[in-house]
Structure 1
C-alpha cells in the first residue's frame, strides 16, 4: 500500500513545491509594492529550495520505476540512462532536476531583490513547465501534441502565479493582522486593488487552458462516458474545488474594492477587512492544496472507460 501511494505522493509534493516556489518568487519579483519584498533568504525558504531537487529527483525515479514495473529502489542504471536519453519524458525530467538545482543555488547566492527573485522564478518556471512532458499531454504526437504541452505549460504557470499571489497575500494579511500598522495597511490595500485585474486575467488563463486541456485529453463531447471512470469522477472533484477557489477569489476582490481610497485611520474597519481576507485566503490555500492532490492522482489515471 505504501509503495502504491509513493508515486502520487511524490507527484503531489513536487507539484506543490514547484507551483509554490515559482509563484512565490514570481510574485515577489513582479510586485511594485516595496512592502511585499521581504527577506527571501529566511531559513525556511532556503530549506525548501534545498529540498526541492531531492523531491523532484525522487518523483522522477518513481515515475521511471512505474514505467518499468520496478521498485524505485531497484532501478537498473543502464535501463534508466537509456530511457532518459531516448524519450522526451526523460529529457524533460533531467531538465527539471537541473533547473531546481540551479534555482536552489541562486536562492543561496542572490541577495533579496526583484532581479534575483526574477532569476529564481524563471528557473522554477522552466522546471514547472517541463511537467507538461510527464502527464497526459505527453501522450500526444505531432503539432497537436506540442500544442497540448504548451497549453498545459501555460496552465501550470498561470496556476503557479495565482497560487503564489494567494500565498503572499495570506502572509501579508496575517502579518498586518498580528501587528497593526496604518502605513502597512494602506500599502496592503493598494496592492490588493492593484492586483485585482491581474488576478482576474490569471484566473481567465487558468480556466481557458484547463478547458482546452480537457478537450484535448477526453473531448468535451465524451464527458458522460468519462464520468463513469475514476478519472472522470476525480476530475469533477477537482473542478468543484477550483469553483470554490474562484468564489474565494471573487470574495477577495469584492473585499478589496470595498476598502476606501485612500485608507486612513478611522475611515475603514481595518480589523474587519483584514479578518475577512485572512479567512478567505486561508480557505483558498487549503482548496489549492486539495486541487494539487487531485492533479497528482489525475496524472496517473486513465481517462478511457474500461481502463480505470
Structure 2
C-alpha cells in the first residue's frame, strides 16, 4: 500500500471521528434536555474514548506519511532529518504541530467530569476540526482569498460536522421515544435538532459551494479526477439533504398520528444520512490530496 493511500485512509478516519465528536457531543450538551443527554452520553462513553484515541493515532501517523510522500518513499517516513525539515520549514509541518496540539487538548478534555465531558469534548473537537483548515487547498492562495478561503473552510467543516455528527446520538434519542420516562425530553430533543439542522444544512451547502468556487470555479464536471470526485460528493450531499428534508417535513409531522411507523422511518432515514455522510467524507479524503488542476 502506498503512502498516499494510507494518508487518504488516515484522513477519512480522522475527519470522521472529529465530526462525530464535535456534532454528537455538541448536540447532547446544548440541545438535548439534561435528563436524556446524560444517559445517552454515558452510553457513548466507550465510543467517545475510542474516537479520541483514533484522532490521536491518525494525527501522529499523518506526519510520517507526509514525509514519505514528500521524500523518497517509505524510508523517509522514519528519517529524522526529513521529519525535522518538514516541521521546521514547511507549511505542512507547522499545520501538523497545530493539529497535534488540538488533538492533545481533545485527549486532555477527557479528564473532565461526566457532566462536563460532552461540552469539553465538543469544544476541543471543534478546535481540532478548525485546525484542518491550516493545511490543504485552503492555504495555497494569496491575497484576500488566502484569508477568506481558510475561514470559509473552517465554517464548512464545523457546519458539516454539526449536521453529520449529531446524527449518531439522534438515533439513540429516537430509541427513547418508546420509553415513557424519556418521551417528552426525546420529543424536545428532536424538535431542537430539526430547527438547528436547517442552519447546519444551509451553512454546509453555502460554505461548500464557496470552497468549490474558490478552488475550481464551477464544481460540476468530469474534466479531471478532482472535479469528478467533487461532483460525486455534491451529488451525495444533495441526496443526504433530500433525506433530511423527507424526515423533517414528511415523517416528523406524522409522529402524533402514527408514532411507531413514523419513528421507524425517521430512524431509517437518519441511519441512511450517516451512510451518505461517510461517503461524502471518504470522497473529500481522496480528492483533498489531488491537484485540482491535474488530470
- The more displaced of 16-25 and 64-73 is 64-73
Aligned residues: 291
| Residue 192 (structure 2) pairs with residue 194 (structure 1) | yes
CA distance in 2, matches of 1:201, 1:13: 26
Q: Which residue of 1 aligns with 2:265?
A: 276
Residue 25 to residue 69, structure 1, CA distance change in 2 (3 Å):
farther
1:248 to 237, 243, 247: 243
CA distance in 1, matches of 2:122, 2:156: 16
CA distance in 2, matches of 1:71, 1:82: 16
Q: Which residue of 1 aligns with 2:66?
A: 63
CA distance in 2, matches of 1:83, 1:270: 57
Spell out structure 1 runs of 4+ moving beyond 6 A.
Answer: none
Residue 191 to residue 105, structure 1, CA distance change in 2 (3 Å):
same
Residue 111 to residue 72, structure 1, CA distance change in 2 (3 Å):
farther
Contact 1:27 1:165 in 2 (8 A): yes
2:216 to 215, 218, 228: 218
Q: Which residue of 1 aligns with 2:203?
A: 205
| Alpha-carbon distance, 1:231 to partner | 0.9
TM-score (norm 1): 0.87
Query: Secondary structure of 2:78's partner?
Result: coil
- The more displaced of 129-138 and 41-50 is 41-50
CA distance in 1, matches of 2:232, 2:289: 16
CA distance in 2, matches of 1:85, 1:22: 30
Contact 2:233 2:283 in 1 (8 A): yes
Residue 72 to residue 98, structure 1, CA distance change in 2 (3 Å):
farther
Q: Which residue of 1 aligns with 2:286?
A: 297
CA distance in 2, matches of 1:9, 1:165: 23
Query: Secondary structure of 1:191's partner?
Result: helix
CA offsets 1:8-28 (integer angstroms, 9 cap, x no match): 111111111111111122112
Q: Which residue of 1 aligns with 2:30?
A: 30
Unaligned runs of 5+ in 1: 261-267
CA RMSD of aligned residues (A): 2.1
CA distance in 2, matches of 1:301, 1:232: 10
The within-5 A match list for 1:116-155 is 116-155=117-156
| Alpha-carbon distance, 1:82 to partner | 2.5
Query: Secondary structure of 1:37's partner?
Result: helix
CA distance in 2, matches of 1:259, 1:192: 11
| Alpha-carbon distance, 1:277 to partner | 1.0
| Residue 231 (structure 2) pairs with residue 232 (structure 1) | no
Unaligned runs of 5+ in 2: none
